[in-house]
Structure 1
Amino acid sequence: MSKLSPADLDRYIFSRTGAANDGLLVGAGYGEDAAAIATEDGTMVVSSDPISLAAERIGTLGVAIASNDVAACGGMPEWLVSTILLPEADVELLDEITAQLDAEANRLGITIVGGHTETVAGLSRPLLSLTCMGPADRYVPTSGAEPGDEVILTKGAGIEGTAVLATDFTTDLDAAGVDTETVGRAVGYFDDISVLPESVVLSPVATAMHDPTEGGVLNGLVELACASDVHIDVSEGDVPVRPETNTLCAAMGVDPLRILGSGALLATVPRDEVASTLEALDAENIDSTVVATVEEATDEDDVGVVYEGGHYTDGVEDDMYDLWD
Structure 2
Amino acid sequence: MEVGKVPTDILKEVIFKNIQHKRSEVLVRPNIGEDCAVVDFGENVCVMSTDPITGAVKDIGSLSIHISCNDIASNGVEPIGVMMTILAPIGTTKEDLSYVMQEANRAAASINVEIIGGHSEITDAVNRMVITTTAIGKQKKAAMVTSKGAQVGDHVIMTKHAGLEGTAIIAADLEDQLRKAIPQEVIDNAKGFAKKISVVKEGVLAGTVGVNSMHDVTEGGILGALWELAEASQVGIEVYEDKIPIASETLKICAELSIDPLRLISSGVMVMAASKEKAQVLLETFKEHAIEATMIGKITKEEKVILKGTTKNPLEAPKTDELYKVI
Specify the alignment match of 2:239 in structure 1: 234
**Offset of 1:134 from its aligned partner?**
0.6
Check whether the contact 1:33–1:69 (CA below 8 A) recurs between aligned residues.
Answer: yes
Aligned positions of 1:150-165 closer than 5 A: 150-165=155-170
Of stretches 262-271 and 7-16 in structure 1, the one that deviates more from structure 2 is 7-16
Mapped to 2, the partners of 1:227 and 1:20 lie a distance apart of 20
* Corresponding position: 1:269 with 2:271: no
CA distance in 2, matches of 1:252, 1:124: 25
Read off the aligned partner of 2:326 and give its amino acid letter: L
Where does residue 195 of structure 1 map in the other structure?
199
Select which of 258, 276, 289 maps to 2:263: 258
CA-to-aligned-CA distance 1:178-199 (integer Å, 9 cap, x gap): 1111111111111111001111
| Distance apart, 1:295 and its partner CA | 0.5
Distance 2:296 2:315 in 1: 17
The letter for the 1-side match of 2:83 is: V
Residue-by-residue CA offset, 1:239-281 (whole Å, 9 max, x unaligned): 0111221122222221111111111100001012222211111
- Residue 96 of structure 1 corresponds to which residue in structure 2? 99
**Aligned counterpart in structure 1 of residue 23 of structure 2, from 10, 21, 24:** 21
Distance 1:12 1:315 in 2: 18
Q: Distance in 2 between matches of 1:33 and 1:305?
A: 23
Give the structure 1 partner of residue 84 of structure 2: 82
Supply the AA of the counterpart residue of 1:203. G
Deviates more, 1:315-324 or 1:266-275: 315-324
Structure 1 gaps of 5+ residues are: none
**Which of 122, 132, 140 does residue 135 from structure 2 map onto?**
132
Task: Provide the alpha-carbon RMSD of the alignment.
Answer: 1.5
Show CA shifts across 1:73-124 (max 9, x none).
Answer: 1121111110000111422221221111111111111111111111221422
**1:107 counterpart residue number:** 110
Deviations 1:266-317 (A, max 9, x none): 00010122222111110000011000011111xxxx3x34365542343232
- Aligned equivalent of 2:325: 322
Aligned 8 A contact 2:86 2:131 in 1: yes
Between the aligned partners of 2:10 and 2:192, the Cα distance in structure 1 is 38
What TM-score comes out, normalization by structure 2 length? 0.93
Structure 2: distance between partners of 1:185 and 1:5 = 33
What amino acid maps onto 1:259 in structure 2? L
Is the CA contact 1:218–1:316 (under 8 Å) kept in the aligned structure 2? no
Give aligned pairs, total.
318
**Aligned equivalent of 1:30, options 29, 32, 37:** 32
Corresponding residue for residue 306 of structure 1: 306
Displacement over 3 Å in runs of 4+: 304-310
Cα offset, 1:25, TM superposition: 0.7
- TM normalised by structure 1 equals 0.93
Q: Specify every segment of 5 or more residues in structure 2 that has no aligned partner in the other structure, as ranges.
A: none
In 1: Cα distance, 2:133 partner to 2:324 partner:
21
Q: Which amino acid aligns with 2:306?
A: V
